[in-house]
Structure 1
């Protein structure tokens, strides 16, 4: 793989030149099937369905599994539960890949490139970085640090509703920059559900929508804050320093201009943001530090995360693989969590994790929240600021042993014992977005299949025609708003970013002398679109949106799809316009004097 550096570019990244394929015959059956299956895979993310299994098949399979002692025999007095096959964001892409492999539309090389990497995009490295940073962030969240910080900020707002609204907006922006959008969605949403309830703010619409927008806007700042940023940095070999330097000012422009839209246009009603509120929550007279479940863990995790991000920034310019920085850091945090749980076990005996950290749900529409569970804080925990660790009931003498029971029951009991001894580690493992790994791999493979069949070249021709007519400004505006839109129809923002990054790579390879202003502008416009696209039209524009809706449902707050669209559309429009406008000015300043 060759890498050519344009000496006129001061962007701090290397363009990874893919092989320019001349194949553009997409009229054959394999190419058409590939495109159709790609879009069906994306539809499954937006509209998952469950197909009932014929009752006779369910009974037969249950008897077979019972006979082999994999599951316990069914209770004859209870009716057999109806089973379903879920067509969702894992099963449909998997079926699509297998079908394409069967008909010869893709081969082993395409699958290997979709996993190991090709043309600068290395999915396995990207996901290793993402999962390891996710563990550190979730472990830090588990200590109660975000809840403590949210309570502290809430008290600083005093009785002024407008001031508190501003403080929390800034708090979620800062938190989103540091730890990414998912931890802010996990803890921040549950905090707001509790806070608005005890302060009598009904409905909590203004507070939860401002938090959702702030978290997703902030995730654009650091490469490590969103997997879409990792895709872009890998595709174009952008250093962490260069990436943040290019996006921080446009992000600040959006953050500043979005707030008046929230506070004075969309949510100006005193019902939504009261002029005065009472913050005398049940624990308001106690020290806010009591909300910390593990104070030492919060300090350790904060230092480790800061050091990890600092090393990532420092080593990004010397071509050190980022996973070699984050994976050891995650293992250090894992070792610390094991030690903490073992120390508590030796001191107090077996424990259960706090109830709010034991949730692992599937939504009513079939969306599986990617093994993250949800950090839904119970009222008792939120009000007292502490987590109650209840002892696990001891097993009676006639409890089933390994030889007396089926494998499923035995496995469940062993996991229960492990969770009782290591509640922190097991709960964090449940919350890790592990299902994002196969989903991302499958999307990489499907996009690689599109490229293999010539579709990426066709999309590139359309894009080149647009840029030739509109220039640099059209490239920035077009890529920003197209990526926002495609987040809603391309299997979340991850699928949209993978596809559009391939289009940009193909474009750069076909025109090595491209104006650096246009080139830079298109890349960073995609960065903003892939992050801001999460709050545009549909919940499924991002996995964070699905997670956000699920947490709200569990707290009794229902957000309709139409409400999500109507409220988020003006927020996204202002954010994108502000960031893209700032980006246009930025590329002209950075590349002044270059060919235009």
Structure 2
């Protein structure tokens, strides 16, 4: 049970830092460090000497700066930080983040298969050239997608379709309807938005009970919003009578048909399991996390198989090119060998002639020596003469044999030399070929590096991107900065609670909600306003802690109906008012299309630059 804590200096320091964090979240800046160009290159921190190191004050970093300052000033204890991470009063920030990112991975992975584009083209083809039908069909499509997948997927896909593919100028009405559908339909299911989970966890609301309470208000809101849109954008300038949308076979945009079927099946199984386990005490994140792991493993196997297939195709192509180049080199080598062979044959004939002529000279020398030996032998005994004559005969025979062997050796040497030349020619051709192949591969590698210079500094990231492109793209499209921001704001809300601010806010909130109708109205308005200042996640945590505090929950006028009305008004406000990037979207629409004010709608858009309408 929460207690009342008196305000002190530390309380005001914490509140000042909290407001400062909100300022930098709305207006992020980066402060360069002087002389940081001289620092060595550090990946992810200082990637180039040409630019100084900058300290970012933005969505992801500013809350942690404030927490570090509070710890350094001894304003809070480390236990407060732990409580902000682990949770208290039934709210578990880590489980909310696991649930959110598990579902986000499944939905983004499904989107990368081309399923959402398939649906967009299918609805576009069904509408024909009727602008009003196209507007209505897409409004229905985006409501269904936002209810069962993710409003981030709706905004990303719809914005790309309207601004790049559809021939609708200006697409203002279609974009505004997309934003409204994305924010309203996310109230339908328990898992449609992390803020729904926060409220449901804090008050132990099951999946079925939540859907039963919110299904009716969501449908009514969708219908009312559609009527409002048709009235505001009644000018044919915004919803033209005839349009010329791109005609394309929806099946042609399915990049991974099997992956789309698998993703839909996995998402349906996840929703059915959530409904089945809503009657038990199993945490929602325990249900959704295994499905996200299965989706991750499927993408992992798919990327490995695709890479293996691509490598085999490239290997076969390179082998074919190598064979073609080797065949061309082979013809040249054969011509060179034939020429060398003719030279060897002519040299062989010359050598044989030289040996034959030398043979005659040798024989004449032997005969002269024989005559000389006969003169000497006449003075010797007959026995010695006989042995000498045999010896001379053997010498002449030996010389003849040696001459013939020299002819054979000379021929063999020439042939071996020609063989060496042949090997040299082949090796030279192959080395030239390898040199050409290496050069071409280096050029292709340089092209790839130039296409994505951010990943060149990190070879591991570069390799991961090309080995697992699906997983890489899913993680790149997921809201990564939301994780540190959410945890930081959870901790800061816990800090405000520990320093007495939550009890004070609970007293003020109790005064503003004397009965059921004012309670619902005040809660919805305050939550929508705070959504555009704090972001919907920390706003929901803050108001939930206020509603849980005894100063509000135990007030005399707060009964069960008032509490229930405040809870679901908080859910509606957190969904309708959510907008982490609405300022940029609204400003982009006004700047690109130079939208002129048209009655009330023009002034309405100008007054809410930070809201998703």
Q: Which residue of 2 aligns with 1:301?
A: 263
Q: Which residue of 2 aligns with 1:149?
A: 119
Q: Which residue of 1 aligns with 2:564?
A: 520
Q: How does 1:441-460 map to 2 (within 5 A)?
A: 441-460=487-506
- Preserved CA contact (<8 Å) 2:582 2:611: no
Shift of 1:332: 0.5
Q: How does 1:422-461 map to 2 (within 5 A)?
A: 422-461=468-507
Task: After superposition, give the CA deviation of every residue in 1:399-433 in whole Å (9 maximum; x if it has no partner).
Answer: 89xxxxxxx98762222222222211111121222
Give the SS at the match of 2:187.
coil
Match 2:234 to one of 261, 264, 268? 268
Q: Measure the CA separation in 2 of the matches of 1:178 and 1:169.
A: 15
Q: Which residue of 1 aligns with 2:533?
A: 489
- Preserved CA contact (<8 Å) 2:155 2:182: yes
Rg (Cα) greater in structure: 2
Shift of 1:316: 2.2
- Preserved CA contact (<8 Å) 2:93 2:490: yes
Shift of 1:460: 0.5
Q: Measure the CA separation in 1 of the matches of 2:192 and 2:130.
A: 32
Are 2:189 and 1:219 equivalent residues in the alignment?
no
Q: Which residue of 2 aligns with 1:34?
A: 14
Give the SS at the match of 1:418.
helix
Are 2:233 and 1:255 equivalent residues in the alignment?
no
Q: Which residue of 1 aligns with 2:580?
A: 543
Change (3 A) 1:72 1:395: farther
Q: Which residue of 2 aligns with 1:384?
A: none
Match 2:604 to one of 549, 566, 575? 566
Change (3 A) 1:574 1:278: closer
Shift of 1:212: 0.7
- Preserved CA contact (<8 Å) 1:190 1:551: no
Match 2:542 to one of 482, 499, 518? 499
Give the SS at the match of 1:437.
helix
Give the SS at the match of 1:317.
coil
Are 2:512 and 1:476 equivalent residues in the alignment?
no
Give the SS at the match of 2:242.
coil
Q: Which residue of 2 aligns with 1:588?
A: none
Q: Measure the CA separation in 2 of the matches of 1:565 and 1:61.
A: 50
Q: Measure the CA separation in 1 of the matches of 2:18 and 2:204.
A: 27
Are 2:461 and 1:415 equivalent residues in the alignment?
yes
Q: Measure the CA separation in 2 of the matches of 1:565 and 1:100.
A: 42
Q: Measure the CA separation in 2 of the matches of 1:560 and 1:505.
A: 46
Bigger helix share: 2
Are 2:282 and 1:320 equivalent residues in the alignment?
yes
Shift of 1:252: 1.1
TM-score, length basis structure 2: 0.72
Task: After superposition, give the CA deviation of every residue in 1:328-373 in whole Å (9 maximum; x if it has no partner).
Answer: 1111011111111111112122999xxxxxxxxxxxxxxxxxxxxx
Are 2:97 and 1:135 equivalent residues in the alignment?
no
- Preserved CA contact (<8 Å) 2:582 2:609: no
- Preserved CA contact (<8 Å) 1:110 1:445: yes
Q: Measure the CA separation in 1 of the matches of 2:183 and 2:270.
A: 22
TM-score, length basis structure 1: 0.74
- Preserved CA contact (<8 Å) 1:72 1:409: no
- Preserved CA contact (<8 Å) 1:351 1:421: no
- Preserved CA contact (<8 Å) 1:262 1:571: no
- Preserved CA contact (<8 Å) 1:532 1:572: no
Match 1:163 to one of 133, 145, 168? 133
Q: How does 1:276-291 map to 2 (within 5 A)?
A: 276-279=242-245, 281=246, 284=247, 286-291=248-253
Give the SS at the match of 1:273.
coil
Count the aligned residue pairs.
479
Q: Measure the CA separation in 2 of the matches of 1:559 and 1:148.
A: 30
Q: How does 1:183-194 map to 2 (within 5 A)?
A: 183-194=153-164
Q: Measure the CA separation in 1 of the matches of 2:567 and 2:45.
A: 51
Change (3 A) 1:73 1:233: closer
Q: Measure the CA separation in 2 of the matches of 1:398 and 1:295.
A: 30
Q: Measure the CA separation in 2 of the matches of 1:144 and 1:566.
A: 35
Change (3 A) 1:243 1:512: farther
- Preserved CA contact (<8 Å) 2:199 2:544: yes
Q: Measure the CA separation in 2 of the matches of 1:442 and 1:351.
A: 48
Match 1:530 to one of 565, 574, 590? 574
Give the SS at the match of 1:50.
strand
Q: Which residue of 2 aligns with 1:20?
A: 2
Q: Measure the CA separation in 2 of the matches of 1:224 and 1:394.
A: 51
- Preserved CA contact (<8 Å) 1:176 1:184: yes
Q: Which residue of 2 aligns with 1:105?
A: 75
Q: Measure the CA separation in 1 of the matches of 2:38 and 2:224.
A: 61
- Preserved CA contact (<8 Å) 2:30 2:55: yes
Shift of 1:509: 4.5
Give the SS at the match of 1:85.
strand
Task: After superposition, give the CA deviation of every residue in 1:552-581 in whole Å (9 maximum; x if it has no partner).
Answer: 79x967899999982397999999xxxxxx
Which piece of structure 1 moves more, 419-428 or 513-522? 513-522
Q: Measure the CA separation in 2 of the matches of 1:146 and 1:568.
A: 31
Q: Measure the CA separation in 2 of the matches of 1:194 and 1:399.
A: 31
Q: Measure the CA separation in 1 of the matches of 2:580 and 2:313.
A: 31
Match 2:554 to one of 500, 507, 510? 510
Give the SS at the match of 2:128.
coil
Task: After superposition, give the CA deviation of every residue in 1:1-44 in whole Å (9 maximum; x if it has no partner).
Answer: xxxxxxxxxxxxxxxxxx13022x22x21000111111111111
Match 2:39 to one of 34, 46, 61? 61
Change (3 A) 1:148 1:425: same
Shift of 1:170: 1.1
RMSD: 3.4
Task: After superposition, give the CA deviation of every residue in 1:156-185 in whole Å (9 maximum; x if it has no partner).
Answer: 111111111111111111110010211111
Q: Which residue of 2 aligns with 1:310?
A: 272
Change (3 A) 1:456 1:558: farther
Task: After superposition, give the CA deviation of every residue in 1:248-288 in whole Å (9 maximum; x if it has no partner).
Answer: 11111111111121112x21111111011123x2xx2x531
Give the SS at the match of 2:244.
coil
Match 1:50 to one of 22, 27, 30? 30
- Preserved CA contact (<8 Å) 1:20 1:510: no
